[in-house]
Structure 1
Amino acid sequence: MSVRVAVRPALLEWARSRSGIDETVWHKRFPLFDAWVAGDAQPTLRQLQDYAAKTYTPVGFLLLDEPPVETLPVADFRTPAGQGGTMPATGNLLDTLRACQARQEWYRDNQLLHNEPHVDFVGSVTVSTPPTVAATSMRDALGWTGEVREELGSWQEALAQLRERAEDVGVLVTISGIVGSNTHRRLDPNEFRGFALVDDYAPLVFVNGADAKSAQVFTLAHELAHLWLGATGLSDAEAESGREFAEERWCNAVAAELLVPMSDFEQAFDPAGALRPQLEPLARRYRVSTEVILARVREAGAIGWDEFMLERDIERTRIESLDSGRSASGGNYYATKPVQVGKRFTRDLIASTLEGRTTYTEAFRLLGVKKVSTLEGLGRSLGVL
């Protein structure tokens, strides 16, 4: 006879909320959920274990009297639907944050072990620093000039180039659209677009790779601005957040100035011309999204806030319709995995493992791999072997 488990409905609902599973597939995966919540039936132990696994919830949590309070380990600069308040965090976001914190901790210890110098630009400016001044500091450190941008043929190239340049100056850059190696746990750009974890020896930024490539370029610049500011935090990189939080407003301004310098933009944009025909050509010129261009148009005084919000919503609808017809590709594992974990981090971790300073068990955990052959393959792809 199967053992039935009495689970409080609030725990089942809490696990559902934190799972991030889309409403359209929920009842297909859990056809007995409504009956459990209503008290008309109780799950067997095996069913409860399956429910916990599929909602990415520790099974012990489901046996508590009330849902545990899970707090974000970083400042939350997101604004839900353009309003004030606090957004909930799914297990996908929490697990991603914890994985990045573990990698950062390892990398910091590794840097100190080798007597590496601290990264001097971390916390080098304040919100009182003019965005143009901070953007110039970033541009000089990253070598992100107009000449470099003009040589880039696509948003993908712009993202890759900015990522490489950030890693060259000591930043751990992680770009991933999934949790760890689990392709079934897709990160939702509507929940967050990125975060920055400040540290003098191991500064880290994460960019949600499930977002559009053109949007990822701005998110990366925004999170790098967080490092220059010395402000750890979780971002949605939204204009509304800029109204709510001084740090986000400042980081948005710095990122925009880095990617689309106003002095150059005022020469490229025709305020007397029609707006819409100019959006895509300008987005291609600066290798950013049309949303960023719209923001610069507003900052140049050509449109007001209400018109900006209206045009932004039109652009989002247009982009979503384009994205819906595109099929995702897994790509080359040995090319994508280091980007998902961070090339700089992966390279140093594998070298440490091969030298015997880090155990294979620890390396597997931090990289999210299971085989020595996979680790060695990553090493070869990065020139460590």
Structure 2
Amino acid sequence: MPNYIDVNPSILEWAFERATRSGKNPDSLFRKYHHFEDWLTGKRKPTWSQLEGFSQDTYTPFGFFYLDSPPDDELPIADFRTMDSAKITPSVNLIETVQVAQERQEWFHSYLLREGAEPLPFIGYAEETTPIRDVARYIDNLLDLPPISRRPHKADVFIRLLIQKLEMNGILVNANSIVDNSTKRLLDPEEFRGFSLSDNVAPLIFVNTADAHNAQIFTLMHELAHLLRGESGVSDSSSNFSPSREEERWANSVAAEVLVPANDIELLVTGDISIEKAKELARRYCISSTVVIHRAHDLHLITDSNHLELQKMIHSIQRVDRDNKREQSGHPTWYDIEFRRVGRTFASAVISDTYSGNTLFQDAYSLLGVKQSSTFDKMAEKLGMAI
């Protein structure tokens, strides 16, 4: 005899809505659970097995169905996308992505302390009043960035360089377009482009690789700026260069100065520019045309009317930039993608600690998001750590 479960209809409705908000097709859920409307009205009750399936399909922990009312969907870190008085309900995809990153950061923090790591001096180095150009120079020196004329002009090459520089300085970088390793759960760049997890031993930057490559470059520098202020939070995903939060405006300004130095663009822009000129400059700096437009306007190099005219083309430019993401140098292997997803530094640490006997293999598989020992061993081989 089926085991029927009493569930508050508001919980079922909440689970359905949060799943569709995270990209789940509502029609497919209705087709699979064709008695769902009856569950809501109380005409029918779900069986245990039906509720288990519904739990998995809506990304809802099974225990939530025993609650009296729906819990609040809240991010475990600050949300820099809105003012404190406003609120954006985060998708379950975003929430879980932050949680996975926090789990990795917590493990890495403990690992580094066991290894005798010292606090990183740049975490919390800056504050709101620190001059933007001073912070940009600090980042240039920290990452040992080449001058503009010698920086890579292919976005994916520049991204790899920046990630390498960040990890050399002790910053974990997770770059992913899905929830952990779930290929059916895509991250939406319109919801968020990245976030920072500040820690004086194991800071972490997450960048949403569903975004255009040029946008990812800006996100990496934007999140680094947050870390320099010791801030953890999800960043604004809009193309608005003057967001409502002071933290976001400051981080945007720092990233812009690092990537498009004022003393460089001022030599190239002496008046209103065309969209073709904006694209030319975007190629020079390896960032989006949108950033170039806003940067030139913020430095009073172009007029308000020119800025507004160019802004009208921003959406089409962004679509082109998003398409350019596919133009990569070569085709990355699964392992290349995996190492970007968790970070080479993190993967090396987990594998080393596991082979040393300090971390259980099952825990290591979970941290790296792999299921088979053969995949784990192959990752070790790729990193030159095979035993």
Q: Do both proteins adopt the same fold according to a TM-score greater than 0.5, normalized to the shorter chain?
A: yes
Alignment-mate amino acid for residue 72 of structure 1: L
Distance in structure 1 (CA, Å) of the matches to 2:24 and 2:109: 42
Deviation, structure 1 residue 106:
1.1
CA–CA distance in 1 between the matches of 2:158 and 2:308?
Answer: 26
Aligned to 2:334: 333
2:197 matched residue in structure 1: 197
Inter-partner Cα distance in structure 1 for 2:96 and 2:345: 21
User: Would you say the 8 A contact 1:142–1:166 is kept in 2?
Assistant: yes
Instruction: Rate the CA distance shift 1:189–1:305 in 2: closer, same or farther, 3 A.
Output: farther
| Structure 1 residue runs without a partner (length 5+) | none
Does the 8 Å contact 1:219/1:237 carry over to 2? no
Distance 1:105 1:23 in 2: 29
| Matched AA of 1:298 | H
Equivalent residues of 1:17, 1:90 under 8 A apart: no
* Structure 1 residue 76 corresponds to structure 2 residue 75: no
- 1:219-258 paired onto structure 2 within 5 Å: 219-238=219-238, 240=240, 242-258=242-258
> How far apart, in 1, do the equivalents of 2:189 and 2:365 lie?
27
Counterparts of 1:53-64 in structure 2, within 5 Å, are 53-64=56-67
Structure 1 residues 260 and 322, CA gap change in structure 2 (3 angstroms): closer
Q: Does 1:156 align with 2:156?
A: yes
Equivalent residue number for residue 18 of structure 1: 18
Question: How big is each residue's C-alpha offset from its partner over 1:143-200, in whole Å with a ceiling of 9 and x where there is no partner?
Answer: 12325x6341411111111111111111001100111111001111121111111111
1:364 aligned residue = 365
Structure 2: how far apart are the matches of 1:140 and 1:203? 18
Q: CA RMSD in A?
A: 2.7
**Amino acid in the other structure paired with 2:48:** L
1:114-171, Cα deviation, whole Å (9 max, x unpaired): 1122211111111100111101000111012325x63414111111111111111110
- State the secondary structure of the residue aligned to 1:30: helix
Mean Cα deviation higher: 367-376 or 305-314: 305-314
Deviation at 1:3, TM superposition (A): 4.1
Q: TM-score, normalised by structure 1?
A: 0.90
Q: Given the alignment of the two structures, is residue 43 of structure 1 paired with residue 46 of structure 2, yes or no?
A: yes
Q: 1:79 to 1:373 in 2, by over 3 A?
A: same
**Does the CA contact (< 8 Å) of 2:236 and 2:243 recur in 1?**
no
> Could you tell which deviates more after superposition, 241-250 or 55-64?
241-250
1:1-385 correspondence to structure 2 within 5 Å: 1-20=1-20, 25-31=25-31, 32=34, 33-39=36-42, 41-79=44-82, 85-147=86-148, 150-238=150-238, 240=240, 242-273=242-273, 275-302=274-301, 308=307, 311-312=310-311, 314-320=313-319, 323=322, 331-385=332-386
Deviations 1:328-371 (A, max 9, x none): 99941111101101111111111111111211111111111112
Q: Which amino acid aligns with 1:356?
A: G
Secondary structure, aligned partner of 1:244: coil
Cα distance in 2, alignment partners of residues 55 and 120 from structure 1: 42
Deviation per CA, 1:233-282, whole angstroms, max 9, x where unpaired?
Answer: 11125465844211111111001101110110111224244x31112111
Say which SS state the counterpart of residue 174 (structure 1) adopts: strand
Instruction: For structure 2, list consecutive stretches of 5 or more residues without a partner in the other structure.
Output: none
- Identity among equivalent positions (%) equals 35
